Structure 1
Amino acid sequence: MAGARRRAPTLIMPENGPFVLVVAGSDSSGGAGIARDIETLAQHGVRACLAVTALTVQTHEGVARVDLTPADLVEAQIRAALASNRVRAIKIGMLGNGENVAALARVLADNPHVPAVLDPVLVTTSGSALLAVDGVAALCADLMPKCTVVTPNLPELTLLAEAIVGAAAAGQEPPLRHRFAVPPLPHCVGARHNGEVGAMSFLSPVDLGRGGARRLTEWGTIDAPATSEHLPDVPALVQHQAAILLAAAPAVLVKGGHAIGTRAIDILFRSGQSPLPFTAARHDKTMRGTGCMLASAIAANLAGGRDLTDAIASAKAHVAGRFA
């Protein structure tokens, strides 16, 4: 019929295809959390199985209530999902507290062959805490070493680096300075130090809210392809914080969504390798759940057999396409 719209082809997910296990919380608004994860996996033709860590009551403006799932139930869900399906990757989002982190870490220790993508959900966009203090410590000490890649945004990068260095300096349990080799502090603008571990003055969440992150992260002005060797001028403090996280995790993808500039640039840091930027055009409009989308897309690509670099490049392009 003339003028009739053509239907988009239906994406059929094979029953025997790979699964991605999503370990995360719900979002009643549908803007983030498990809803975004399942949506993104379906767009990649990958099936999802679930372990729900929390029920939240929230709108696009804020969180009204959070009820955490007991850790034994979280662990039981994860083990049941792994036993029932061909899980080829795990996407990790909100965990809520240290007990849930420990439960997941135990399962990952039993399944080291399954790649895991950790989106460290610490606070909501509106500023509500989604991971207790004990959870942050457990995340750094017990979970990050077992993950394939960790994907913090700039505020999360600061908070995780501060937690690692603070625990190392204080000798808290677990003794992070014995488990991780924290790199020496650099001489860089924005950092104050006296040569001792833990002396770095990191940006606080308040500073980040006041634009401190923008002052230290003004990259994104280059025009480069998705995986260019042209690394933008990343502030030394950001590079140092990424190096601290690499003491705990094998790979760290620092997301530049909180930076400024014409390009939205994420940078992959790996020990012994040059940082690798992934770029896309920066858009004026905003969308909740982009961190969930990116991590889920990476997990879907890993489940499909791609290596980490290709998985990130494709996932970056997928998220950018949602803004087109």
Structure 2
Amino acid sequence: MPALRLCCAENRHIPAVLDPVLASSSGGPLLEASAIGSLTRNLMPLCRLVTPDLVELAILAGSRPAVDDCEILRQGQGLLATGSQIVLAKGGHATGPRSTEILLRSGQEPISFDAPRLAGSMRGTGCMLACAIAAHLANGRSLEHAVGQAKQFVFAKL
């Protein structure tokens, strides 16, 4: 993590997007629990956008997974309070008829990006979404445009 932190610190002009994948698809941890604090304090504040899913958001916030939007907002605000610039809480693994991502920024109203939830178990969609957002940001798009276009792109690919 120190090398990544240095790279982000030296290139603040690049809108880094961090998808904090904390566990493998099989459930095995990819980051030791003792490193979570370092991630939230030392790396996430250097990134333009952090894109946790609901389980990752809960782990980073030191909570249980959110069961409603109020809890998602509370956990996301907690990450903003630790120094994260912007948080996109990804709701792809939630339940219900809609898949909703919530964009959180300090001092601003949350923005929701919504699409119909597709049937089936899917893997890699959160990573694809984060990469598509990063591509749009690298091309000079606004954050809201980047998230909206990326959400449409991922939905179309599914």
What secondary structure, in the 3-state scheme, does the structure 1 residue paired with 2:121 have? Answer: coil
Aligned to 2:147: 312
The separation in 2 between residues aligned to 1:311 and 1:286, in whole angstroms, is 25
- CA displacement 1:215-234 (0-9 Å, x = unmatched): x13xxxxxxxxxxxxxxxx2
Aligned to 2:132: 297
Per-residue deviation, 1:118: 0.4
Which of 1 and 2 has greater Rg?
A: 1
The separation in 2 between residues aligned to 1:303 and 1:134, in whole angstroms, is 32
What secondary structure, in the 3-state scheme, does the structure 1 residue paired with 2:88 have? Answer: strand
Identical-residue share of aligned pairs (%): 48
Aligned to 1:69: none
Aligned to 1:128: 28
Are 2:99 and 2:115, in contact at CA under 8 Å, matched by a contact in 1? yes
Aligned to 1:88: none
Are 1:269 and 1:275, in contact at CA under 8 Å, matched by a contact in 2? yes
Are 2:133 and 2:147, in contact at CA under 8 Å, matched by a contact in 1? yes
Are 1:149 and 1:249, in contact at CA under 8 Å, matched by a contact in 2? yes
Per-residue deviation, 1:126: 2.2
Aligned to 1:252: 87
Write out the 4+ residue segments of structure 1 that deviate beyond 6 Å after TM superposition.
none
Which residue identity does 1:135 align to in structure 2?
A
- CA displacement 1:158-211 (0-9 Å, x = unmatched): 10011xxxxxxxxxxxxxxxxxxxxxxxxxxxxxxxxxxxxxxx31xxxx5xxx
Pick from 53, 58, 68: which aligns with 1:158? 58
What secondary structure, in the 3-state scheme, does the structure 1 residue paired with 2:135 have? Answer: helix
The separation in 2 between residues aligned to 1:316 and 1:118, in whole angstroms, is 16
Tell me whether 1:240 sits opposite 2:74 in the alignment. yes
What secondary structure, in the 3-state scheme, does the structure 2 residue paired with 1:237 have? Answer: helix
- CA displacement 1:232-289 (0-9 Å, x = unmatched): xx2x222111111011211000011122221110000000110000011100023211
Aligned to 1:137: 37
Tell me whether 1:113 sits opposite 2:13 in the alignment. yes
Aligned to 2:49: 149
The separation in 2 between residues aligned to 1:282 and 1:322, in whole angstroms, is 13
Higher relative contact order (CA 8 A, sep 6+): 2
Which residue identity does 2:23 align to in structure 1?
V
What secondary structure, in the 3-state scheme, does the structure 1 residue paired with 2:120 have? Answer: coil
Are 1:254 and 1:268, in contact at CA under 8 Å, matched by a contact in 2? yes
- If each structure's helix is expressed as a fraction of its own residues, which one has the higher value? 2
RMSD: 1.2
Are 2:92 and 2:126, in contact at CA under 8 Å, matched by a contact in 1? no
The separation in 2 between residues aligned to 1:125 and 1:237, in whole angstroms, is 24
Q: How many residues are treated as equivalent by the alignment?
A: 157
Aligned to 1:265: 100
What secondary structure, in the 3-state scheme, does the structure 2 residue paired with 1:266 have? Answer: strand
The TM-score, its normalising length taken from structure 1, stands at 0.47
The separation in 1 between residues aligned to 2:138 and 2:113, in whole angstroms, is 20
Instruction: Mark the runs of 5 or more structure 2 residues left unpaired by the alignment.
Output: none
The separation in 1 between residues aligned to 2:104 and 2:151, in whole angstroms, is 16
Are 1:102 and 1:138, in contact at CA under 8 Å, matched by a contact in 2? no
Aligned to 1:282: 117
The separation in 1 between residues aligned to 2:122 and 2:96, in whole angstroms, is 18
